[in-house]
Structure 1
């Protein structure tokens, strides 16, 4: 049915439930598993440069280093969940990207045929204000998406 599953995680408890589900599914199907986490770009405010404020290169470098360390921790924990089920998992950190595009691009690049994401199911104004990476993955993915709630 599915030969290569991509599970997205941000390290949250909700995302861990999604990873756990993906691990179980991959194990049951004998599928490969790839774990991905995406860290967003530096929140550069263009208006600040017009006011004479600048962002130092060191600030951006430090931001990226902190994101890299956080991603390593997230992926280590996700890989541990896979290892508990005697399943090897590949890991991917996509830096400086929007979550949904990072997830979908990784699925394409890795040749995944299913994406597993978690969602808290926000609706209406909350979804509009807070956004939903899971919703964007659903509408942009070229492969099936399994949403865990």
Structure 2
């Protein structure tokens, strides 16, 4: 049925459960997976009239470290499950667009993702990335809680 599953991850607990379920499904279907982490571009933050001293380069370095950590965890789980896995991170201001773009470019035929991530459960009802993917995806989407 499905042969190439996209697993977007943000490292949250719900996202990690979705990865686990996606890997289980991939193993059962003899499918491969592609793990993706979307990094939001740097934005200067300010508080009142003071600019918070976070440089773009330190933000980028830290974001890439976290991305590699999350993706490394997915690759390790996939290896233990015997599921072929590729992975990468992208910088994009709209995670939904990045997820859909990567799914199309990588030839994925299913997206398995968490219902909500680091932004909180209330985002599920207020336009979460999962909801945006569900509405806009031409591919089947499996949303995990």
TM-score, structure 1 as length reference:
0.83
What residue number does 1:127 align with? 125
Greater share of residues in strand: 2
Spell out the pairing of 1:39-118 with structure 2 (5 A cutoff). 39-44=39-44, 59-118=55-114
- Which structure carries more helix by proportion? 1
Q: What's the secondary structure of 1:34's corresponding residue?
A: strand
Cα distance in structure 1, aligned partners of 2:79 and 2:52: 41
Partner of 1:22: 22
Structure 1 outlier segments of 4+, above 3 Å: 53-56, 120-123
For structure 1, which runs of at least 5 residues remain unmatched after alignment? none
- Say whether the 8 Å CA contact 1:82–1:89 is kept in structure 2: yes
Deviation at residue 94 of structure 1 after TM alignment: 1.1
1:127: how far off?
3.1
Which sections of structure 2, spanning at least 5 residues, go unmatched? none
Partner deviation per Cα, 1:10-56 (whole Å, 9 max, x = no partner): 111111110011101111111111111111111246xx7xx8x7799
1:38 equivalenced with 2:34 (yes/no): no
Contact 1:39 1:95 in 2 (8 A): yes
* 8 Å contact kept, 1:39–1:98: no
Aligned residues: CA RMSD: 2.4
Distance 2:51 2:16 in 1: 37
**How many residues in Structure 1 have an aligned counterpart in Structure 2?**
140
Task: Judge conservation of contact 1:42–1:96 (CA < 8 Å) in 2.
Answer: no
